[in-house]
Chain A
Amino acid sequence: AQSVTQLDSHVSVSEGTPVLLRCNYSSSYSPSLFWYVQHPNKGLQLLLKYTSAATLVKGINGFEAEFKKSETSFHLTKPSAHMSDAAEYFCVVPLGGGYQKVTFGTGTKLQVIP
């Protein structure tokens, strides 16, 4: 069965420094993978999506993620953190079957220190 593991529940970075949020997946085939962001007291918004077209995926707000099959990873990165990046980030994998049933990682809260 497909699943994702987010390796850090909290990450703290200084403004202007790089961001790395880690996600490992488990799947019997090359899955689609998503990153969603949730700002405080808001709904979830799609950040980026991997669908096997390219292993390096660029998303909104300067974020990108690289699909590494050999490492079963899909880590989210950003070169320079901004205060507005403070949010919770979820790695998501679809469970397949043609309909959009997905499973969420447990989330990583990103704190950005001024």
Chain B
Amino acid sequence: NAGVTQTPKFQVLKTGQSMTLQCAQDMNHEYMSWYRQDPGMGLRLIHYSVGAGITDQGEVPNGYNVSRSTTEDFPLRLLSAAPSQTSVYFCASSPRGRGSTEAFFGQGTRLTVV
């Protein structure tokens, strides 16, 4: 009963370093997405995917890359970390369906860039 699993839970990076935030879901959901959460701004969509091999940009995509080679995994790559990327990152997945369905969220990754 894992749901959406994000790793790591915490990470400190130096400016300019790169890293990958991992996200995996075991519910066979087609739709997966990455959000960042900053105080007073709610959650903002970074990138999303509607199925394996298909990704698209969200509201704040700059500085991030994604890929979706399998249904289960949707990693988020920070190419060259900047202090402005200090945030809490959430991965979510949803099944495709008529109308709108519930999104299932991971526990988050708290990233600090120094």
Contacts and interface: CB of A to CB of B under 8 A. Distances in A.
A9 to B, nearest CB: 7
B106 interface: yes
A32 B100 contact: yes
Report the interface size class on chain B.
Answer: 20 to 34
Given A32-B100, A43-B90, A51-B100, A104 B42 contact: yes
B43 A104 contact: yes
B96 interface: yes
Given A41-B108, A44-B90, 19 more contacts: A32-B99, A43-B90, A43-B107, A43-B108, A44-B43, A45-B105, A46-B103, A49-B100, A99-B48, A100-B95, A100-B101, A101-B45, A101-B48, A102-B45, A102-B100, A104-B42, A105-B42, A106-B40, A107-B42
Contacts, number: 64
Interface in A25-70: 32, 34, 41-46, 49, 51
Interface residues of A, number: 23
B41 interface: yes
Among A41, A51, A100, A106: residue with most chain B CB under 10 A: A100
Contact of B96 (A41, A44, A46, A98): A98
Among A32, A41, A42, A44: residue with most chain B CB under 10 A: A44
Interface string B97-114: 011111101111000000
